[in-house]
Amino acid sequence: MASAPYDSSRVRDLIDMNVLISSQLDNNKAKQAIKTIFEQHKRSVPDKLELPPEQWRQQFNIIAESRKLDLTIAQAFYNIESYAKKLAT
């Protein structure tokens, strides 16, 4: 069986992260959770987020539409990047 050209769980993560951000997360708890996850994987939190691959766009649109979200992948990335910058300050 051939693998998909994208990791669909990562595509869903973009949407899930936007839903969480819009739900008014506690910034201190979010910052600690991110730190803990990266420590568990023995990685450091990146200084800059990488744009999602173009091949994620179609799957993103399908998932967003199924969840009745008016959100493009570019908007989702911008929201996540803005929130990450907010947590970094």
Q: Alpha-carbon distance 72 to 82, whole Å?
A: 15
Segments forming the whole domain that contains residue 42: 8-88
Total domains in the fold of the chain: 1
Q: What pLDDT does 6 receive?
A: 57
> Does 81 reside within a domain?
yes
Q: What are phi and psi of 13, to 5 degrees?
A: -60, -40
Which pTM does this prediction carry?
Answer: 0.83
Q: What pLDDT does 3 receive?
A: 45
Please write the tens of the pLDDT for every residue from 64-88: 999 999 999 999 999 999 999 999 8
Please write the tens of the pLDDT for every residue from 1-35: 344 555 678 999 999 999 999 998 899 999 999 99
> Does 1 reside within a domain?
no
> Does 14 reside within a domain?
yes
> Does 3 reside within a domain?
no
CB atoms within 10 A of CB 2: 4
> Does 47 reside within a domain?
yes
